[in-house]
Amino acid sequence: MGVPVHPLLVHAAVVFVPLLATLAVAYAFLPFIRAHTRWVLGLLALAGPAAALLAKLSGDQFFDRLIERELVTPGFVPRLEEHQNLGTMTLWVTIGLAVLTLATVYLVGPRAGVLGLRGGEGSRRILSVVVTVLAVVAAGVALYYVIRTGDSGSKAAWEGY
């Protein structure tokens, strides 16, 4: 119907990636929610990267169409390219967060303490702590890139191209 799909699909990424990041951090620091959120977190670890990928692919197609139809001024192309690059980083960081989150869910059971500390053999405990800390860091980085990407895209939309 002539409406670009990218502005519609980005909303899924804007919802699912921060939810994934927030719940991954909560899973690390709040052991009492683990038994109730394991499946939700696992599903978000699939939905977040899928949403970021769809937003990225639709954005690339939208950008190409704008260039092809000469609907964007040449001076504005670097601004859209910056948004495109931020979207690419968001996708990769979200994939990393998803992998680390799934590893955390696998390694850190519902009864483990904060950051997976408690019980188990030494090497598995160390691995669970390292993976959980990396997941928390990845969550922060993913939130940063979602915010930066969304900000640059909204400025492009509202300030014109």
Domain that holds residue 87: 6-159
Instruction: Write out pLDDT tens, residues 20-62.
Output: 999 999 999 999 999 999 999 999 999 999 999 999 999 999 9
Instruction: Write out pLDDT tens, residues 94-123.
Output: 999 999 999 999 998 777 666 665 555 677
d(CA 160, CA 2): 18
Instruction: Report which of residues 156 and 92 the model is more confident about.
Output: 92
Whether 125 is covered by a domain: the verdict is: yes
Q: Provide the number of structural domains found in the chain.
A: 1
CB contact set of 20 (below 8 Å; sequence gap of 6+): 41, 44, 45, 47, 48, 94, 97, 98, 101, 139, 142
pLDDT at 78: 86
Count H helices and E strands in the chain, helices first: 4, 0
Rounded to the nearest integer, the mean pLDDT of the chain is 90
Whether 1 is covered by a domain: the verdict is: no
Whether 91 is covered by a domain: the verdict is: yes
